[in-house]
Structure 1
Amino acid sequence: MPLPGNCRTTAMGILPHQEVERAIDLALTLDIPFWPQLPRFSYYEDMYVQVSEHFPGIQIDERQQRITLDTGRFLEELVEYAEKSDSEAIFKLSPRYSVALDAFLARDITSYRLVRGQSIGPISFGHKIVDENLKPIIYNDDVREFMYDFIARKINVQYRQLQQAHAAPFIWVDEPGLEIIFGSFSGYSSERAKRDMRAFLDSLEGPRGVHLCGNPDWSFLLQGLDLNILSIDAYSLGQIFSRYTDAIREFLDGGNIICWGIVPTLSEELGQESVEKLVLRLEEIWSNLVGKGITLKQILAQAWLAPARCCLINTDGYLTVERSFATLRQVSALLRDRYDLVD
């Protein structure tokens, strides 16, 4: 079944809130709600920490806010992991690692067309986490192969948890570090990454999505990965993204969704914008694609809208982010009215 588009709203999982129920209430104001990640509530809510639960050899230093891998312990703990890996329990996020997931699942979310979960992706996790020699674990062949499988299992278990509460869930993978592989000093080539990522995505249950705020070679994601959803920072990078016209056309012709992150979440940026200005900004990006033969009708039918980025650095705590969500809803309403978008 095709994913419904028509400028539905969703957002990144990370919120600056420390009150769990308020964060969930905010997520539920969007067309496609999600369970929030709350790193200001606890370091264990950090998306890198969350996925590391039960990963052999992982060491979490809460005081220094660091995650590392002890290679010796990794090899030792693989035996115990193998004994437990047939059980889904080892892959579930415990309340310590996600205070919001169970609370979200306890809500009545059946009225929504879709609901979403999220997980850090293997490319970003593998570059961020280092071993005792400060070497990113993605460069260790044995650890990398295990890591891809481990994260896929965690995502599939999360998907099944969401499926118990809603008929149409999906998980998207956050890959903030993806653009690293296109640098000249990367020891993990984009060619190898694409093979690994394709196998990883093929192992996931449900619709497959990737979100990132960076600026990679967009053809990497648009072609050859069989993605269903691509979420981008259109506010900052939409003009660059729209240059990949042929790849975008192929992606849309496959029936897939582009989630356009158009509403800023930084206080200074949001204060300079209005709903009309943001709509115009988005329409200018879309006009680049229309000029190359992609119809506006298709773009709208396969579009979601979101804030441009998550944000934890505003001095007003969660207030700007909540205003961003309200602005997003208004942007969506204006576009749906202007282009007569109905289901």
Structure 2
Amino acid sequence: MQVIGGCATSAMGILPHKDVDKALEMAFSLDIPFWPQLPHVSYYEDMYVQFSEHFPGIKIDEEQQRITLDTTLFYEELPAYLEKSADPDTFALSEKYAYVFHRFLEHDLSKYPAIKGQVMGPISFGLRITDEDRKPIIFHDDVRMVLFEFTREKINHQYRVLRQHNPNPIIFFDEPGLEFVFNSISGYTSDMAKRDLADLLAGIDGIKGVHLCGNPDWDFLLNADIDVLSFDAYNRGDVIVRYESVQRFIEEGKVLAWGIVPSHIEQIENETEDTIIDRLEGLWDTLVAKGADKDKIVQNAQLAPATCNLVGPRNEEAVEQAYELLQRVAARLKEKYRLD
């Protein structure tokens, strides 16, 4: 397995579309296609709900669109869960929870240099999902231990499935919650996060990717045992390039997925191929001025939309424009740097 760079295009899984065929068409328009998550098609396509399948104690209120953990039910279901956890299929994505994933697998995936999957990150899930007293479940020691083991098995099962269709899959876990573990309101400390994340990464048997759109302590991620870091370069790029650890990350052959094309209509209507390329190369030039090798930066780069867009105005139109602009930008950069 290898991590594909060279300004290859990819994206995170969430799309605002209600048309499954259109979403898949967009996913397959990229160099590294992904299976879309479409929460506007079904509540079970929401990344938090999708991740929760088979986790003990989970209650899903589809009508109120709410997911919670019942701690009494957690302990009641835990023995049966632990027994079933020996069966890898316990961690499979069913059609009810991931219909589009199964549609994705119906396509010929072997012709692509790589394919991409994703899961909800355990830190974000643990901070977002609460118990009956509205306490985030990450603060329950027993629940947190099961949560990280559960995540590892979910990722490894998805790897096994994707490898049946393409020899070079990569799975990202989406961790918006990492932005909050470094501030005073979380209560889940950075030391705890580092320990738990390191244990999780050590148990993953494939390429390891992390995505987030926020602004965490980037050193934390750049020094973690990951192979790809996907981030919002359009809005946060000037922050991340200040870190000395970025250069080391690239020199070690790891890949940065630069989310350089905005997906909100008020931003993308003010951008062109030239302005996006200028913005991206300006970030690269900042790294070069600090001693990074330009060829390595380019060779170890993927290009992506900056963020998802589920609720913004004209969101489907904006995302489609972003994908089109992304591909034009990538084509020009590949030609300029002779990457094809």
What is the TM-score when the length of structure 1 is the normalising length?
Answer: 0.97
Q: List runs of 5+ in structure 2 lacking aligned partners.
A: none
Counterpart-to-counterpart distance in 2, 1:325 and 1:67: 31
Q: Which 4+ residue blocks in structure 1 deviate beyond 3 angstroms?
A: none
Aligned match of 2:286: 288
Aligned match of 1:252: 250
Aligned match of 1:222: 222
The one-letter code matched in structure 1 to 2:149 is D
Indicate the percent of aligned positions where both proteins have the same amino acid: 50
Aligned match of 1:272: 270
Q: Is the 8 A contact 1:182 1:190 kept in 2?
A: yes
Aligned match of 1:143: 143
Map 1:90-109; keep pairs closer than 5 Å: 90-109=90-109
Shift in Å, 1:89: 2.0
The one-letter code matched in structure 2 to 1:115 is I
Aligned match of 1:79: 79
Aligned match of 2:231: 232
Map 1:1-343; keep pairs closer than 5 Å: 2-223=2-223, 225-244=224-243, 246-342=244-340
Counterpart-to-counterpart distance in 2, 1:21 and 1:112: 19
Where 1:177 maps in the other structure, the secondary structure is: helix
What count of residue pairs does the alignment treat as equivalent? 340
RMSD after superposition: 1.0
The superposition leaves residues 52-105 of structure 1 with CA deviations (integer Å, 9 ceiling, x where unpaired) of: 001000011112211110000000001111221111222111111111111111
Counterpart-to-counterpart distance in 2, 1:306 and 1:317: 17
Q: Is the 8 A contact 1:20 1:99 kept in 2?
A: no
Shift in Å, 1:289: 0.5
Q: List runs of 5+ in structure 1 lacking aligned partners.
A: none
Counterpart-to-counterpart distance in 1, 2:134 and 2:101: 32
Counterpart-to-counterpart distance in 1, 2:238 and 2:99: 37
Counterpart-to-counterpart distance in 2, 1:177 and 1:285: 25
Counterpart-to-counterpart distance in 2, 1:137 and 1:161: 29
Shift in Å, 1:234: 0.2
- The answer to which of 208-217 and 55-64 deviates more is 55-64
What is the TM-score when the length of structure 2 is the normalising length?
Answer: 0.98
Q: Is the 8 A contact 2:265 2:315 kept in 1?
A: no
The one-letter code matched in structure 1 to 2:311 is I
Counterpart-to-counterpart distance in 2, 1:230 and 1:206: 15
Counterpart-to-counterpart distance in 2, 1:50 and 1:161: 16
Q: Is the 8 A contact 1:2 1:255 kept in 2?
A: no
Where 1:60 maps in the other structure, the secondary structure is: strand
Shift in Å, 1:315: 3.2
The one-letter code matched in structure 1 to 2:217 is D
Counterpart-to-counterpart distance in 2, 1:235 and 1:317: 18
Where 2:230 maps in the other structure, the secondary structure is: strand
The one-letter code matched in structure 1 to 2:100 is A
